[in-house]
Amino acid sequence: MNFGELSGVKLLGALVLAGIVGSVALYYTVFKSQGDENAAAQVKLQAKMRENAELEAYRPKLADIERQVANLKQQLAIERKIVPDEKEVDNFMRMVSGEARRAGVEIRRYTSRPVSARDFYTEVPFEVELDGPYYSMLGFFDRLGKLERIVNVNNLLVASTRKPSDAKARHTYQYAPNESVVATCVTTTYFSHDMDPSPGAGKPGQPAKR
């Protein structure tokens, strides 16, 4: 087309038509795709805003949940002191010996007894032979009863140092002048474990295999 041959009105019409065609082409190639992207982004934004609004409802409960978790952790730590989840036999014996020293009592012997596995815990008993002054002996058993860790005392036998065999003591020692009593007993501590016993553990209420 020779634009020089067109009249002014026709030239203007041709230019307007060319502008319209160009605008339509630009709309479909650039603006429409950008609009589609904006619409998709708006949908995602609205979904995220709805999700945030739902989560916002839990914000007041978050502090309470955190406090509950902290309390549960504290309770678990206390329970592990009362009933450890491992067989800390050495620590148990050191703990009992330490309380004996503080009470002024001497432990002569530890003898292990058969271990019994229960549903959630294991009983680990020891026969203990000890001697000392009468009131020191009372103080020792009182100390055991106040420990964080559970320690049960059973089969307690007490006799005079003049006749320790009455307490079923296995040996006679050179007792100090202030020592007046000899005692034997069974001290039992406990360890937690999973419900399914290990292959070496016995059935509930029966000694574990060794």
181: in domain: yes
* Alpha-helical segments (H) within the chain: 8-26, 32-56, 59-82, 89-103, 134-145
Asked if residue 136 and residue 34 are part of one domain, the reply reads no
Looking at per-residue pLDDT, the higher value among 54 and 167 belongs to 167
Asked if residue 97 and residue 43 are part of one domain, the reply reads no
Query: Is there a contact between 125 and 207 (Cβ–Cβ < 8 Å)?
Result: no
Looking at per-residue pLDDT, the higher value among 195 and 185 belongs to 185
Q: Rounded to an integer, what distance in angstroms lies between the CA atom of residue 58 and that of residue 150?
A: 40
Confidence of residue 203 (pLDDT cuts 50, 70, 90): very low
- How many structural domains comprise the chain? 2
Kindly report, residue by residue over 47-104, the tens digit of the pLDDT: 877 887 777 776 677 677 677 667 666 655 655 555 555 666 788 888 899 999 999 9
The reported pLDDT for the residue numbered 69 is: 65
0.95 surpassed by pTM: no
Asked if residue 142 and residue 95 are part of one domain, the reply reads yes
Q: What residue ranges in 113-160 does DSSP mark as E strands? A: 116-117, 121-132, 152-160
Q: What is the full DSSP assignment across 187-205?
A: EEEEEE--SS--TTS--TT
- Count CB-CB contacts under 10 A for residue 202: 16
Which domain, by its residues, includes 52? 7-56
Asked if residue 101 and residue 49 are part of one domain, the reply reads no
Q: What does the pLDDT average to over 169-176?
A: 90
The reported pLDDT for the residue numbered 149 is: 82
